[in-house]
């Protein structure tokens, strides 16, 4: 993540309208941190060692610690505000010591920022215990509105040119990419879902246009993936 993108997130974090978890700004979409924490409880035991990758200021890290995990967190920027509760490592994931492995890895709203998802998952596997799990969230580019946006503009939702420059969203990730990377590097998708219902445009013309374009979807053998955020749970194959 370059400095201009980081400055954008710093400004967003300091906004009075921003949501917080115990005083720490939450930059992910509303509900993601709670959802992924609750989801992890079905896979990890209390006291499990976990790594929060790209932790930012530490809102998710602190939430995980409050749920009785032994939390480690890493980020290339030293902004973490809960170092008294977790073990913070000022490092990129590729520079971490792979001799240390974890029960759970969390990459929440991260992989859309990395240049190479395949390399990221290969590194993540090396940090995972044999019976561990990787929890991933990323913008869902397979929603109906994202598909229509791509058809009309050549850009997926949340991956327009201004998103690349401002948000650092440089890598729209399709499900088949995750599936292929898992097959290549000895991982397996245990669970795949989507959350946060997308909103359709309020403009009447756009509603009619989207409605007409939705007709082929009704007869498609491929079911529409409705949630704005894609969620994956991975394990070693």
For residue range 151-210, list pLDDT tens digits in order. 777 777 666 666 655 566 778 899 999 999 999 999 999 999 999 877 665 565 555 565
Task: Note whether residue 218 is domain-resident.
Answer: no
Over residues 46-86, the pLDDT tens digits come to: 999 999 999 999 999 999 999 999 999 999 999 999 999 99
Task: Please tell me the least confidently modeled range out of 97-101, 165-169, 227-231.
Answer: 165-169
Q: How far is CA 124 from CA 65, 134, 191, in A?
A: 21, 8, 17
Task: Note whether residue 31 is domain-resident.
Answer: yes
Task: Please tell me the least confidently modeled range out of 54-58, 105-109, 119-123, 215-219.
Answer: 215-219
Task: Note whether residue 223 is domain-resident.
Answer: no
**Residues 126/131/37/95 CA torsion (nearest 10 deg):** -10
Task: Note whether residue 215 is domain-resident.
Answer: no
Task: Note whether residue 205 is domain-resident.
Answer: no
Q: Dig out the tokens for 229 from the structure.
A: 């955020």
* CATH number for 81: 3.40.50.150
Nearest to 231 by CA among 29, 1, 20: 29
Total count of domains within the chain:
1
* pLDDT reported for residue 148: 75
* pLDDT reported for residue 40: 99
213-216 long-range contacts, CB within 8 A, separation 24+:
213/148, 213/151, 214/144
Token pair 């709670």: residue: 34
In DSSP terms, which residues pair with 104 in a beta bridge?
A: 50, 133
Task: Note whether residue 222 is domain-resident.
Answer: no
Q: Is the pLDDT of residue 224 over 70?
A: no
Q: Which residue has the higher pLDDT, 166 or 237?
A: 237
Residue 154 burial class via C-beta count within 10 angstroms: exposed 0-12, middle 13-18, buried 19 and up: exposed
Task: Note whether residue 65 is domain-resident.
Answer: yes
* pLDDT reported for residue 1: 60
Q: Dig out the tokens for 50 from the structure.
A: 């976990």
Q: Are strands 102-108 and 227-236 parallel, antiparallel or unpaired?
A: unpaired
Mean pLDDT of 6-12: 57
Task: Note whether residue 204 is domain-resident.
Answer: no
pTM of the model: 0.85
Rounded to a whole number, what is the distance in angstroms from the first to the last CA of the chain?
A: 31
* pLDDT reported for residue 104: 99
Q: Is the pLDDT of residue 147 over 80?
A: no
Over residues 10-47, the pLDDT tens digits come to: 565 566 556 899 999 998 888 999 999 999 999 999 99
Domain span at residue 31 reads 3-142+158-199+231-236
């Amino acid at each position: 993540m370059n400095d201009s993108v980081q400055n954008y997130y710093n400004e967003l974090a300091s906004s009075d309208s921003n949501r917080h978890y115990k005083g720490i700004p939450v930059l992910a979409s509303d509900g993601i941190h709670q959802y992924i924490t609750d989801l992890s409880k079905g896979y990890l035991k209390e006291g499990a060692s976990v790594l929060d990758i790209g932790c930012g200021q530490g809102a998710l890290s602190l939430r995980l610690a409050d749920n009785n995990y032994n939390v480690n967190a890493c980020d290339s920027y030293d902004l973490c505000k809960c170092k008294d509760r977790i073990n913070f490592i000022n490092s990129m994931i590729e520079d971490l010591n792979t001799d240390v492995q974890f029960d759970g890895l969390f990459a929440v709203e991260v992989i859309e920022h990395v240049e190479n998802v395949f390399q990221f998952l290969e590194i993540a596997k090396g940090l995972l215990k044999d019976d561990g799990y990787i929890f991933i969230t990323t913008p869902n580019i397979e929603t109906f509105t994202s598909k229509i946006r791509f058809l009309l503009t050549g850009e997926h939702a949340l991956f327009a040119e201004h998103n690349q420059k401002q948000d650092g969203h440089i890598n729209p990730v399709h499900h088949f990419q995750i599936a292929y990377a898992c097959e290549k590097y000895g991982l397996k998708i245990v669970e795949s879902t989507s959350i946060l219902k997308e909103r359709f445009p309020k403009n009447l013309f756009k509603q009619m246009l989207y409605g007409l374009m939705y007709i082929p979807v009704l007869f498609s053998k491929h079911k529409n993936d409705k949630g704005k955020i894609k969620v994956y749970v991975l394990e070693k194959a």
